[in-house]
């Protein structure tokens, strides 16, 4: 494909390349570290059991040189990444669960959020140049009973002795789940504050698909030690974007507070199934997140906790959502 072709014409090449890289096709030998990352988000940290109640994601961040040269060049030409960025390929699998406020009644309250589960796999590419980090992620999966969210929550509640959820037979029906997300984040030059540093990190992006469609923007305030190269811990979308990778030289700690606003055009977990009748509620078009967290990085290891306060997402919602996000990243 010629260099003069429009950026949109290169998207199919980029999409195919991500999944070829995932299968290990056409790669060069790695000469630096990759990493594994685990993110667990759950409202048990807020002593609740409602709305977005659980998310888990396991990711593999491939070494730098596992991204093929031709995929790097294709990414350069999309217009979404700066030319000659330092790229990383990220592969992951995950599962999300959504429940109404009261899980003890059957049938569920029709005015409350419906039961829903989402099982997915993703292939993504991150490109960093200077203090800018850009990430494109493609997700494929399934919404509905095939996500296994119902049995997973049943088993977990049995283990911890919690109330049995009684309404999963009313969950959203099976539907293929496709989504692309793009995020850009900047780190402004850190300023000294006593023996430590402080910086502001604005971000913006979008999601397109039958799972979520939204535009988002926001900013994070970071305070700590050696924060120039910190872009935040990994998270499960929708959220304030994080780096999702660890460099072997990372060390230090920081505290942060973030705000984000999302203009939401589609949320299948509120709007219901796309092509079939299902439970649904009236989605609100604007959603905000406030979060605070702490990150500790040592050579090749990162541990983080974030607490999230989310505004109402649908009309008649009786309680704001609040949950915690715990992540561990380990380079090898």
Would residue 31 count as lying in a domain? yes
Would residue 213 count as lying in a domain? yes
Would residue 44 count as lying in a domain? yes
**Residue 317, pLDDT score:** 94
Please tell me what DSSP assigns to residue 314.
Answer: B
In this predicted model, what pLDDT tens digit does every residue of 295-330 receive, in sequence order?
998 877 889 999 999 999 999 998 888 999 999 998
CATH of the domain at 173: 2.40.128.140
pLDDT exceeds 60 at position 26: no
What is the pLDDT confidence band of residue 31, given thresholds at 50, 70 and 90?
very low
**C-alpha dihedral (217, 39, 44, 320), degrees to nearest 10:** 10
10 Å Cβ neighbour count for 331? Answer: 21
Domain boundaries, position 166: 7-331
Would residue 208 count as lying in a domain? yes
pTM of the model: 0.88
Would residue 163 count as lying in a domain? yes
Domain count, the chain: 1
Would residue 2 count as lying in a domain? no
Residue 22 near residue 123, CB atoms below 8 Å:
yes
Interval 34-53 mean pLDDT:
88
What is the pLDDT confidence band of residue 117, given thresholds at 50, 70 and 90?
very high
Residue 244 near residue 60, CB atoms below 8 Å:
no
Would residue 199 count as lying in a domain? yes
Would residue 93 count as lying in a domain? yes
Q: Outline where the chain has alpha helix (H).
A: 11-23, 69-76, 149-160, 268-271
In this predicted model, what pLDDT tens digit does every residue of 58-86 receive, in sequence order?
999 888 767 777 777 777 778 888 888 88
């Amino acid at each position: 494909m010629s260099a003069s072709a429009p950026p949109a014409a290169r998207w199919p090449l980029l999409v195919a390349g991500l999944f070829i890289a995932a299968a290990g096709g056409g790669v060069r030998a790695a000469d630096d570290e990759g990493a594994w990352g685990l993110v667990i988000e759950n409202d048990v940290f807020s002593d609740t059991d409602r709305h977005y109640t659980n998310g888990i994601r396991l990711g593999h961040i491939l070494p730098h040189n596992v991204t093929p040269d031709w995929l790097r060049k294709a990414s350069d030409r999309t217009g979404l990444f700066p030319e000659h960025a330092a790229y990383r390929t990220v592969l992951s699998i995950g599962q999300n669960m959504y429940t109404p406020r009261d899980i003890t009644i059957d049938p569920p309250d029709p005015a409350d959020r419906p039961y829903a589960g989402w099982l997915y796999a993703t292939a993504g590419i991150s490109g960093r140049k200077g203090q800018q980090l850009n990430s494109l992620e493609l997700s494929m999966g399934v919404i509905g009973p095939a996500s296994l969210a119902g049995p997973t929550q049943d088993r977990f509640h049995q283990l911890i002795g919690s109330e049995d959820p009684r309404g999963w037979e009313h969950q959203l029906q099976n539907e293929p789940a496709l989504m692309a997300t793009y995020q850009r984040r900047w780190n402004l030059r850190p300023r000294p504050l006593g023996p430590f540093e402080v910086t502001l990190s604005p971000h913006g992006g979008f999601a397109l698909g039958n799972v979520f469609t939204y535009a988002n923007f926001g900013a994070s305030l970071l305070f700590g030690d050696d924060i120039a190269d910190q872009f935040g811990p990994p998270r499960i979308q929708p959220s304030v974007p994080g780096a999702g990778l660890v460099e072997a030289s990372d060390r230090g700690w920081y505290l942060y507070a973030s705000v984000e606003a999302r203009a939401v055009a589609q949320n299948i977990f509120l709007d219901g199934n796309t092509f079939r009748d299902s439970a649904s509620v009236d989605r609100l078009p604007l959603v905000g997140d406030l979060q605070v967290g702490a990150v500790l990085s040592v050579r090749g290891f990162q541990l983080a906790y974030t607490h999230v306060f989310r505004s109402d997402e649908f009309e008649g919602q009786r309680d704001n959502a609040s949950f915690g996000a715990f992540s561990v990243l380990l380079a090898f």
